[in-house]
Chain A
Amino acid sequence: MTEVQQATNKDQTMSITSVLVIRHLYKSFGKNHVLIDFNLEVHKGESVVILGKSGSGKSVLIKCVIGLLKPDQGTIEMFGQNIPDLDHEEIDQVRARVGFLFQSNALYDSMTVRNNLEFPLRRHWIKVTQEEVNSMVIEALEDVGLTHTIDMMPEELSGGMRKRIALARTLILRPEIILYDEPTTGLDPITAKEIIGLMREIQAKYDTTSVIISHDMNCIRTASDRVIVLIDGKCHAIGTYEELKQSDDPKVKHFFE
């Protein structure tokens, strides 16, 4: 790429407003090089799916984005700040604006559903009254259609319900970006469809940007504006679902068979 091209590219992306820009990201664990020069740009309001084999480093990638892992090299700009450079307080401020749905839900199993949802609220927004907390908890539960579970423990819920509660907990802070780590893995096709439906509703209702990790073709077809294929720690291919489906690249084809 020439310098001029680079400059114009930059101008274009500025006008679309990218909320998340990842440049030249490297991450390895010992000799296991997981991410090698990974690049990605996510625009406001869009929904990007990251597709890759198990163990290809998808979870590592979004954990770097939220600051749970420190990359070896590279920049991750979110809301104009470089995540790896931030100190604890600064990163907490960024995290208050980002939702993260864990692959294993990560509901606190010693707390009721209510306390699970209150936890991020009370922690991030220290000055918040009990009434506000209550109404936000109820609203988040209404969004996922599970108001009746408010006093249950996570262990009393089914897998699909837990996923919804986890989603409600992610939603409660009204995040501008939501990172989903395999939202439909381990669910039956019908429940998976419901979860995808919920994700689309949320996207429309709160105008969030989504980064979704998935191998579920159904999820990718219905929920993605763009798809990124992560192979060998790099962004191997990028395009819409239809474009990638037509691709001749054997490695990409492999996913769409």
Chain B
Amino acid sequence: MNRDLASYKFLDDAGDLFRFTGRFFQQWFKPRYEIAEFIRQCYIVGYKSLPLIGLTAFIMGLVLTMQLRPSMLKYGVEFELPAIVGIAIVREIGPVITALIFAGKIGSSMGAELGSMKVTEQIDAMEVSGTNPFKFLVVTRVMATTFMLPVLLLLGDAISLYGSYLGVNIRGDTSFTLFWMQVFKNLSFNDVLPAFVKSYFFGFAVGMIGCYMGYTSNKGTEGVGSSANSAVVLSSIIIFFLDLLAVQITDVLGFN
């Protein structure tokens, strides 16, 4: 059988990614724990992506509100604008946009960073220096993305809603308190929880794929670039698939 067929290659790669993920679960609870490095990575991950996530979230909230206003006006329910925007942002747009920006910023930089560490033998050098490079580099990074994305999501949602508040006030006049009251009157725990939970999975996927692409990258500078690129592409696709899966699960569990 022709092993070069694209589908075989795809299955091969998918198998490698699953094995890599398996290795993560095998190693993450075993000592020695790289706590300091984990905290450093959390800081880097948050610090690097917060400005970008904040900016896109703000614009998203503002634009979404302004785009929705005409239709709302047509049906005479423009006073429901904060409520509908709140639902849209908290349930879907916030988590997905945040995760995509996160993948573009953090996934690619992890792919490139680990990729260049691999080709310049820095990963081998760590191993020789009495360090398990998988734990030190991969486990800490994946944990950092998993824990930081939900935090970034909360900040992103808040900024996004603030953008929406401004959007409401460009044409209308709603006080700050009234705006938030309308948003929260409509939002229940069942809206917030699934979105929050799925962002852990998004964060995990971004970290895992970024690290996998970098850690297994090929020799040569071209290898590093393509690791970064495939990290972004694959994690973006996976985010949408996870989102699709999440909506089915919440539906079955009755979180609606």
Contact = CB atoms under 8 A, between A and B. Distances in A.
A124 B121 contact: no
A192 interface: no
B127 A110 contact: no
A108 B130 contact: no
B125 A102 contact: yes
Contacts of B125: 100, 102, 106, 108
A137 to B, nearest CB: 14
B129 A102 contact: no
A120 B121 contact: no
Contacts of A104: 120-121
B33 to A, nearest CB: 13
Contacts of B121: 102-104, 106
B132 interface: yes
A231 to B, nearest CB: 24
Interface of B: 113, 116-117, 120-122, 124-132
13 contacts: A63-B124, A66-B128, A68-B128, A92-B130, A103-B121, A104-B120, A109-B116, A109-B120, A119-B126, A120-B128, A120-B130, A123-B129, A124-B129
A62 B130 CA distance: 17
Given A63-B124, A103-B121, 14 more contacts: A95-B128, A96-B130, A102-B121, A102-B125, A104-B120, A106-B122, A106-B124, A107-B122, A108-B122, A109-B122, A110-B113, A120-B129, A120-B130, A123-B129
B130 A106 contact: no
A102 B124 contact: yes
Contacts of B128: 66, 68, 95, 100, 120
Chain A interface size band reads 20 to 34
A68 B116 CA distance: 18
Interface string A77-104: 0000000000010001001100010111
B124 A68 contact: yes
B120 A106 contact: yes
Closest 9 CB pairs of A and B: A106-B125, A120-B129, A106-B121, A123-B130, A124-B130, A92-B130, A102-B121, A106-B122, A123-B129
Chain B CB within 10 Å, residue with most, of A63, A95, A106: A106
Contacts of A110: 113
A105 B124 CA distance: 11
Contacts of A88: 132
A92 B113 CA distance: 25
A119 B113 contact: no
Nearest to A116: B125
A162 B122 CA distance: 13
Interface string A53-74: 0000000000100101000000
A211 to B, nearest CB: 14
Contacts of A102: 121, 124-125
A71 B191 CA distance: 56
Contacts of B120: 104-106, 109
A9 B125 CA distance: 36
A146 B179 CA distance: 62
B177 to A, nearest CB: 46
B124 to A, nearest CB: 5
